Structure 1
Amino acid sequence: MASEKKSVVVFSAHSGDFVWRAGGAIATAAQRGDDVHVICLSFGERGESQGLWRQEGMTMEKVLQKRREEATNAAEILGASTDFLDLGDYPLHVDDEAFNRVVDLLRAYQPHTILTHVANDPYNRDHNMAHETLLRARMVAQAMGHQTENPPIGAPQVLMFEPHQPEMCGFSVDLLLDITEVFDTKRRAMECMGAQSHLIEYYTDLAVRRGVQAVRNGGPKSITHAEAHARLFPVVGRELV
């Protein structure tokens, strides 16, 4: 029997985060036939566009345009839609209007699963802001008394994708996602992100290391690439797995 089509939301602080940290998860879900939506709070134009700012004659307008193009192209390759809220970065600030927009998007997309950042990244507080905003918006989007055009959402699982320095963020892996079949797709998406091209090889190597760990933790030997994620809420089941 065909599996039920699901809705997946990826909640990204900056326009590169969803590619590096969840590109395999996005491509896997899209390949399965799920609807995948990326909500991107910022283009990372100030703090995460070093490759652009080093170019002569660069302006904020040019950076914003390039970052939008990069993220849009990457999302299309992965199979996801994109919503850009353009809230600025370093620091990221989510005002009431933006927060209500997030709630509306969650209700419109009715996600079964949400992927986002860890709660505490000491190096990048924008990631913390994204995590807290997502949890608050998830709470409000569930409230029957918060009446909007779309109905309340259920209780979607939230998975935190791997941060750049996991040990410093208290990140503990409980899902090694096999992305072997879609890694070439993730790699092509990463290659769209010219403003941070130095990260391509880093996240390629990381996927290989996580693939080795996946095999050592009982996965089939065919796994060559994986992504690490951590569930925020308990998994409900009838078997000890």
Structure 2
Amino acid sequence: MNQKNALIVSAHSADFVWRAGGTIALYVERGWKVHILCLSFGERGESAKLWKQGNMSLETVKQARKEESEGAAEILGASVSFLDCGDYPLRVGDDSLFKIVDAYRELNPEFVLTHSFKDPYNFDHPLANHLALEARIIAQAHGHNPGQSVIGAPPVFLFEPHQPEQCEWKPELFLDISPVWEKKYNAFQVMGAQEHLWDYYTRVGLQRGVQASRNSNKKIKYAECFQCVYPRVADDLL
């Protein structure tokens, strides 16, 4: 049986934990290989707790966030790598873009998760979205590194932003993550630099669980939800 793979393109070192940790853990338990690609460590804009301690350097903060991210990924069962493209602002040249393309071609993912198209509170997030989609198109191009196998057309799902209404994001697919909630919450607790988000994303999980239950005949306590970028292709409607 061929290994099935999934790719997560995360702008910062913690984004994947809050927004897709349950999905990652769920698919790992199903035997999939899930790889998380972090474009930055979130060292400037998402590490206020560390900077407030004083006597911090950029490299010290980066290392701390890297260790947190690796610890969270280990709990979820995924692999993780970092491009170190900067944070506030995130800036990505062609060399880094092609590394994302390489990840697509090496993994040939069945699906990809990334950020929303818009986020007026964090410009790094829509940039990560753009890069994930652009890299997908390049990875399909026979003229890019001829001789390599090109990928097909993996569906791309956009995980929930911090303030979805302002980001023009709406839930189109709910996933029951109740069986792996404890893993997700344990991963939260590794992300000490953003402890203030633990309770917030617990409430999000519960809220989406209620909505998932109302849109199904299931009792769901915790859920994650996604917006679809491309039309979904299936053999039937169920």
The whole-number CA distance in structure 2 between the counterparts of 1:219 and 1:5 is 31
Residues in 2 aligned to 1:150 and 1:45: alpha-carbon distance in whole angstroms? 35
Match for residue 230 of structure 2? 233
Deviation digits for residues 213-234 of structure 1 (CA, Å, limit 9, x no counterpart): 111111412x110011111111
1:154 aligns with 152
Q: Which of 191, 194, 212 is the matching residue for 2:192?
A: 194
SS in 2 for 1:227: strand
Aligned to 2:95: 97
- Tell me the equivalent position of 1:136: 134
Of 10, 13, 22, the residue aligned with 2:11 is: 13
The answer on 1:224 being equivalent to 2:227 is: no
TM-superposed deviation, 1:199: 0.3
* One-letter amino acid of the counterpart of residue 200, structure 2: Y
Superposed counterparts of 1:159-178, under 5 Å: 159-178=157-176
How high is the TM-score relative to the length of structure 1? 0.96
Structure 1 runs of 4+ aligned residues shifted over 4 Å read none
Gaps of 5+ in 1: none
Q: CA offsets per residue over residues 25-44 of structure 1, 9 Å max, x none?
A: 10011010001000000000
1:149 CA displacement: 6.7
Aligned-partner residue type, residue 184 of structure 2? K
Instruction: Look up the match of 1:84.
Output: 82
CA distance in 2, matches of 1:43, 1:104: 20
1:156-190: per-residue Cα shift (whole Å, max 9, x none)?
00000000000001111111110000000000001
The correspondence for 2:58, drawn from 57, 60, 70, is 60
Report the residue type matching 2:236 in the other structure.
Answer: E
Aligned to 1:46: 44
Q: How large is the Cα RMSD of the aligned pairs?
A: 1.3
Which amino acid in the other structure matches residue 61 of structure 1?
E
Match 1:108 to one of 106, 115, 121: 106
Quick one: distance in 1 between partners of 2:166 and 2:74? 32
Q: CA deviation at 1:237?
A: 2.2
Q: CA deviation at 1:200?
A: 0.5
Contact between 1:104 and 1:150, CA under 8 Å: does it hold in 2?
no
Structure 1 contact 74–189 (Cα < 8 Å) conserved: yes
Give the partner amino acid of 2:182.
D
Shift of 1:240: 3.1
Q: 1:165 to 1:210 in 2, by over 3 A?
A: same
Report deviation, 1:82: 0.7
Q: Distance in 2 between matches of 1:189 and 1:63?
A: 19
Instruction: Compute the displacement of 1:56 (Å).
Output: 2.4
**Would you say the 8 A contact 1:108–1:150 is kept in 2?**
no
Secondary structure of 1:229's partner?
strand
Shift of 1:148: 5.5
Number of residue pairs aligned between Structure 1 and Structure 2: 238
TM-score, length of structure 2 as denominator length: 0.97
Give the Cα separation in 2 of the matches to 1:230 and 1:195. Answer: 28
Which whole-Å CA distance do the structure 2 matches of 1:4 and 1:134 have between them? Answer: 24
For 1:182 and 1:96, locate their aligned partners in 2 and report how far apart those are by CA, in whole Å.
37
> Secondary structure at 2:165's aligned position in 1?
helix
Pairwise CA distance, 1:4: 6.5
Paired residue secondary structure (1:140) = helix
Q: Aligned pair in 2 of structure 1 residues 65, 204: CA closer, same or farther (>3 Å)?
A: same
